[in-house]
Structure 1
């Protein structure tokens, strides 16, 4: 998601200055590759635009990520790890967070869950008790938004905000066997983006929102017609 600290995280790992947003507008507009060394590993970090962007639709962002994944797959450049950042400072999981987490799962696929780290950020904005309570809810609470992914093999980690913390999280994934994401497999099979599991997931959400808006508009129209019949001016 936008604003979770992806670009700042990469700065911590790489020691390089990037374009970080500090206001309400999203900052990362294009996919960027940043090369650095972590321990004995030569690392390429891939910074992506976030979903729920202030200036672009989730569809546009998914198209951009899909194009990069397609091209990297053709070049036989595979990922060792995928880091999904989540603000522990968020009071609850928003509708857009739930939607995009679902799409993220479809994009990765079950076979790549062992290469995924669910990393919480912004611990400095909450008390330890608040943070641990929210973390537990995400993992195994009543809704357990992360439960299925954890069962599939991904791990949950915390990012303290320090350079050491960020580099340790990357180092943990660097030695893993590289993986082919489900979206890459589907595109290689000749599927259009809208036909992939991630694309279908996004399209279903768009249709749901459309139906909701149509229902709201219908209710407003009915209220206006009723008011006009009763002689009430709006």
Structure 2
């Protein structure tokens, strides 16, 4: 048995992360969400073998959760990275699968923000280890072209996947079965072997440098900026609400009538 092949699973709630882990590993006891609420509350490790290789999948909490913000999810992942690397452990990523439901066409500000945070965690050197796994193909009936257009749009220059794709990230279709899941894993194994093993995450090295203080890392600073921006918007909304004059609006309405 060779070294462990470490693969991270990341994506929005309901994108198929835990289902992928269950199908790939054959472990039917994994808790799989059937609603819009995330079942994976903390990163969980799933171990099994593919072609004699020891595979370690790290299933992370889903984004777009109705109970926790994306910022909180990234903080959980950062904390796990620090704790996992305590002692003699040395985390080198062989691959990361970013799950994307094919039916999610619209590119919103939330997706842009979390993609920036993900890139900050990975670092440019790890982009080539990213596989964007498109899911939910079996939910489609017709008009596949309309949904593949959403993928093309994310690859356009300046869009959410363009930088990672330009630096080696690949897009693969996951057909929600064991052969498809193992096919994706085999591609990760092959690329890792060709390139001499796993790569170090940018965040991991930063956490070592700052002794685990997430707020001092690039992703920590990005999170703080994000929170300050949100607070500014809320404060502006409060000031606008306080400055409004309902009595004047009522008077105007009476005059018009």
Q: With the length of structure 2 as denominator, give the TM-score of the two structures.
A: 0.82
- CA 1:66–1:232 in structure 2 vs 1: closer, same or farther (change >3 Å)? same
Query: 1:180 matched to which residue of 2?
Result: 200
Structure 1 residues 72 and 144 mapped into 2: Cα distance closer, same or farther (>3 Å)? same
Match of 1:149 among 148, 152, 164: 164
Q: Aligned pair 1:45/2:57, yes or no?
A: yes
Task: Please tell me whether the aligned partners of residues 12 and 167 of structure 1 are also in contact (alpha carbons under 8 angstroms).
Answer: no
* Whole-angstrom CA distance in 2 between matches of 1:22 and 1:230: 47
Q: How many angstroms apart in 1 are the aligned matches of 2:124 and 2:85? A: 18
Per the alignment, residue 210 of structure 1 pairs with: 231
CA distance in 2, matches of 1:94, 1:144: 11
Query: 108, 116, 133: which one pairs with 2:130?
Result: 116
Separation (CA, whole Å) in 2 of partners of 1:167 and 1:232:
69
Structure 2 partner of 1:5: 16
By how many angstroms is 1:3 displaced?
Answer: 1.9
Match of 1:81 in 2: 95
Q: Could you list the runs of 5+ residues in structure 1 that have no partner in the other structure? A: none
The residue aligned with 1:129 is 145
Give the stretch that moved more between structures: 106-115 or 63-72.
Answer: 63-72
State the shift of 1:174 in Å: 2.1
Q: Deviations over 1:120-164 (max 9, x none)?
A: 1112234321222111111126x5221111112211222122221
Q: Is structure 2 residue 209 aligned with structure 1 residue 189?
A: yes
Q: CA deviation at 1:229?
A: 5.2
1:230 positional shift? 6.5
For 1:231 and 1:131, the matched residues in 2 are separated by 47
Deviations 1:90-123, CA, capped at 9 Å, x for gaps:
1302322221111001010111111111221112
Q: 1:97 to 1:231 in 2, by over 3 A?
A: closer
The normalised TM-score by structure 1 is 0.90
Shift of 1:22: 0.7
Q: Are the counterparts in 1 of residues 203 and 219 from structure 2 also a CA contact under 8 Å? A: yes
